[in-house]
Amino acid sequence: MLQNSIFQFLTQLKENNNREWFAENKKAFQTEEKLAKTFFAAVYADLEKIDSLDKMQVFRIYRDVRFSKDKSPYKNHFSVGFNRAKPLLRGGMYLHIENNESFVGGGFWEPNVADLFRMRKEIETDASELRAIIAEESFQKYFKTLEGEELKTAPKGFDKTHPDIDLIRKKQFLLTRSFTNKEVLSANFQSEVIATFKAMRPFFDYMSDVLSTDLNGESIY
């Protein structure tokens, strides 16, 4: 289980986001980082029992400020990513621990040009399977809707009057579920994280089928 000290540290870091304070509190950071990594590893171990994964990626707390107006040197959260084993399995999973802002996420954050075009063509051809997945009870319980950035109009080469243009316009296909601090600190948080990732599987499996085949349904691998 995670402890309330993780939120105490992250709150203090947010209020003192500078290198001097961080240096003075480096030991506290290392303690909380170790606990977070232990929890992330436990989640990864549970996920490996139900899916095929690449290695997990624990994100560093140091921000890349080179191209950002916000020059705060540190993130106010701990986070980790899990990717399914490519090329046949697609979809990334993400766990974010932040004071009053924790969430589980997943989907396709930055699909490359070829993958995004293939997704859009599949939706253009027949969106019924994807619509059915979104309408499923489990999907609605955990996510409600597909999120993510989208174009204001139709992508080039697609009909803006298409009945599924709301899906075709998407540049990202994301699923998120938020958690309160109390939920994060509860004894069943790990099982809830796994249950949330499991609820993504029909969507992931659909997109895996799409991205591993051509428009005729023939495997490209």
> What's the pLDDT tens digit per position in 158-184?
999 999 999 999 999 999 999 999 999
DSSP string, the chain: ---THHHHHHHHHHHT-SHHHHHHTHHHHHHHHHHHHHHHHHHHHHHHTTS-B---EEPPSB---TT-S---SB-SSEEEEEEB-TTTS--EEEEEE-TTTEEEEEEESS--HHHHHHHHHHHHH--HHHHHHHHSHHHHHHTSS-BS-B-SSPPTTS-TT-TTHHHHTBS-EEEEEEE-HHHHTSTTHHHHHHHHHHHHHHHHHHHHHHHTB-TTS-B--
Task: Quick: pLDDT tens for 114-144.
Answer: 999 999 999 999 999 999 999 999 999 999 9
Task: Quick: pLDDT tens for 59-79.
Answer: 999 999 888 889 999 999 999
